[in-house]
């Protein structure tokens, strides 16, 4: 039985320009033939980024590692839309390590 949806949206995203702690664990990050589009308040969308998640597997994807068609800009608010050719479940996690007391949030993204 397939679970999940094919279209997901994350309304808020942000990668700080600096971190407090050793990489890669404490680099601030946000936590399926899948296409990802990024939307900004002051410029044209960027994408699609392409990601493959093998069948019956999980994938931890960091927005920091998306580079093609261009790196996700630091210190810039954005939203993202994920479109998959198969149903997936998308969870969003964001780590903010700019200060010694790290902040971590996680949520299920919005879907159709």
pLDDT tens by residue, 93-109: 877 778 777 777 777 77
* Residue whose pair of structure tokens reads 């397939």 in the numeric block: 2
**pLDDT (tens digit, 9 = 90+) per residue, 33-84?**
899 999 999 999 999 999 988 877 888 888 889 999 999 998 899 999 999 8
Task: Report domain extents, the chain.
Answer: 5-111
CATH number of 5-111: 2.60.290.11
* Interior/surface letters 73-112, b for 16+ CB within 10 angstroms, e for the rest: eeeeebebbbbbeeebebebebbbbeeeeeeeeeeebeee
| pLDDT over threshold 60, residue 19 | yes
């Amino acid at each position: 039985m397939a679970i999940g949806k094919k279209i997901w949206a994350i309304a808020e995203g942000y990668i700080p320009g600096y971190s407090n702690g050793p990489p890669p664990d404490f680099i601030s990050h946000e936590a399926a033939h899948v296409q990802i589009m990024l939307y900004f308040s002051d410029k044209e969308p960027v994408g699609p980024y392409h990601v493959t998640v093998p069948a019956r597997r999980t994938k931890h994807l960091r927005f920091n590692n998306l580079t093609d068609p261009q790196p996700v800009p630091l210190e810039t608010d954005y939203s993202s839309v994920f479109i998959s050719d198969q149903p997936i479940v998308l969870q969003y996690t964001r780590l903010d390590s700019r200060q010694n007391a790290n902040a971590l949030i996680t949520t299920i993204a919005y879907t159709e």
